[in-house]
Amino acid sequence: MAVIHHTTMQPTKLELLTAWLPSRTWYAGGAGGPCPEKAGGFRLDDPAGEVGIEFMAVTDGAGPDAPAYLIPMTYRGEPLEGAEDALIGTSEHGVLGTRWIYDGTHDPVLVAQLYALLAGHAQAQEQSTDDTPDLTVAASLAPAGTAAELVRVTEGPDHTDVTVRETGAAAPLALRLRRVLRAGEDGGPGRGRVVAEWRLADGTTARGAIAVALGDRAWFRPS
């Protein structure tokens, strides 16, 4: 199980996201520029114990119409080769030293564990508590394979499609991560989904699909 260190990070994750969000195609923007606030999320464990994996929800702004975004992130002790364009930034961790923080949709470790969560081989963990399952996160995939590996990433107007190759499958599978979160949305038809909770800017709790495993042939559809 991952160990959560309650310590400092300089710059903080939210400070890094403030600079990074405007570079995203799915960022809606707003008056005054980004002002992200943590609004929930969960973690997954890396079986090798090397990479931190977090699915963070953030809100941007105030009021009932303030958007909420999903930011999957990985934390590494050294750079991820070939993922320079996915780097959110680096931060000095009070215990672990320099951490390279990536948009996790481009990180093969996060993608493999997201598939494991969908397939029932991994358990979502609470965001800020060691060794504590997050029972508010529900995931399903049918049929489910044993594992999957990252093939490519495609950005859409409000989502990111991560194409994976399932062990033993003839065709690729697209995992669509909802970047702009919408309360009550089930993600539409597909083989499975991950449903989670986040807080709206007014403090109320929302729930909806954050990732959907599209049908076998959906990988070639235009975004």
Burial degree of 146 (CB within 10 A; 0-12, 13-18, 19+):
exposed
At a CB cut-off of 8 Å and minimum separation 6, what does 206 contact? Answer: 68, 181, 183, 184, 197, 198, 199, 200
Percent of the chain with pLDDT over 90: 75
Q: What is the pLDDT of residue 82?
A: 94
**Confidence class for position 220, pLDDT limits 50, 70, 90:** very low
Query: Quick one: pLDDT at residue 3?
Result: 57
Instruction: Using pLDDT thresholds of 50, 70 and 90, give the confidence band for residue 37.
Output: very high
Q: How far apart are CA 16 and CA 100, in angstroms?
A: 11
Which of the four pLDDT bands, split at 50, 70 and 90, describes residue 216? low
The pTM (predicted TM-score) of the whole model is 0.91
Mean pLDDT estimate for the chain: 90
In this predicted model, what pLDDT tens digit does every residue of 149-208 receive, in sequence order? Answer: 999 999 999 999 999 999 988 899 999 999 999 999 888 888 999 999 999 988 899 999
Residue with the bigger pLDDT between 162 and 95: it is: 162
Tokens representing 167? 């062990």
Give the position of tokens 């005054």: 32
Residue-wise pLDDT tens digits, 6-26: 667 789 999 999 999 999 999
Judge contact between 57 and 42, C-beta under 8 A. Answer: no
| Non-local CB neighbours of 133 within 8 Å, separated by 6+ positions | 123, 124, 125, 126
Q: Average pLDDT, stretch 80-94?
A: 92
Residues 39-50, mean pLDDT to the nearest whole number: 96
Q: Mean per-residue pLDDT for 112-134? A: 94
Domain ranges, ordered by start, for the chain: 9-220
Tell me what pLDDT residue 68 has.
95
Cβ distance 80 to 102 under 8 Å?
yes
The pLDDT score that the predictor gives to residue 146 is 94
Q: In 3D, which of 141, 72, 77 has the Cα closest to residue 107?
A: 72
Of 216 and 114, more confident? 114
Q: What is the pLDDT of residue 2?
A: 59
Strand order in the sheet with 9-10: 9-10, 87-93, 97-103, 68-76, 52-60, 36-44, 125-126
pLDDT at 181: 96
Beta-sheet pairing, 192-199 with 9-10: unpaired
Query: Averaged over 107-112, what is the pLDDT?
Result: 98
Q: Does the pLDDT value for residue 36 go beyond 60?
A: yes
pLDDT at residue 186, rounded to an integer? 84
Strands 138-141 and 97-103: unpaired
- 86 token code pair: 């996915």
